[in-house]
Amino acid sequence: MLRFIVRRLLVTIPTILVVITITWTLIKLAPGSFYSDEKQLPASIEQTIREKYGLDKPAATVKFGSGSSQATVVLGGKAAEGTIYARDLSRPSIFTVESNVLDELKKDPSEYRQKDLFDARSFNATRIEIVRSGQTHTFEKTKTKNKEGQDEEKWRQVSPQTRELDQASFDALVSALTGIRATGFVDAPAAAKALAAPELAVTIKFDEGKKEEKVTLGKAGTDAFASRAGEPGAAKVDASAIDNAAKALQELK
């Protein structure tokens, strides 16, 4: 649980930054403006302003689009400590943004994609289906009474045979599966061969069965890939992570 909370905190911080950026963008793209009635500045004054704030030779130019609405923002020179000047080219106002925005813009877009292949974890999953070598292994979480008469949740296997499980070994299997993370992303054709004959195909239902995620895992030589249903392209993963999950399934008691 602690590992899950720490991982979520690490994901939350950049997510907040992205949300702030998107919110600001939507506000800028909204119809109308506080400045719609302002007169256009003379070209000479406009040029002087741009030079003063480093916007004549911007460090970066960012274009946003939402439907028919478009906006272009330029990032200029240094302002107060830790900030730089910025301007929406369609409006006269100049504002400041955090200077680390420039560092963020230098990152590859794939760095902003979710690296976790699974959102589900053992505590919120209710049903897990794993297909390996053509055989389907299905597990369901059930509610039972312990010796003290208290309610408790236990996992049991329902196919290809019905049996009780050692909860520790099953938790190890779930941890091995949900711990697989993307190390990078590629176009789907690059991973097509590996995913055409997958090592594992995993379907997990969680949040009381309200959500479902499907992940296919395959290997081609020393390379390993994963594909999440409904998402473009494929993720590169460590081949050893797939091997560990397959081993945990095989050793399940």
Model confidence pLDDT, tens digit, residues 113-154? 788 999 998 889 999 999 999 999 999 999 887 777 788 889
DSSP string, 126-181: EEEEEEETTEEEEEEEEEEE-TTS-EEEEEEEEESS-EE--HHHHHHHHHHHHT-B
Give tens-digit pLDDT for 52-110.
888 888 888 888 776 677 888 888 888 888 899 988 888 888 888 888 888 877 777 66
Q: Which residues contact residue 90 at a Cβ distance below 8 angstroms, ignoring those fewer than 6 apart?
A: 71, 72
Cα 72 versus chain centre, distance: 26
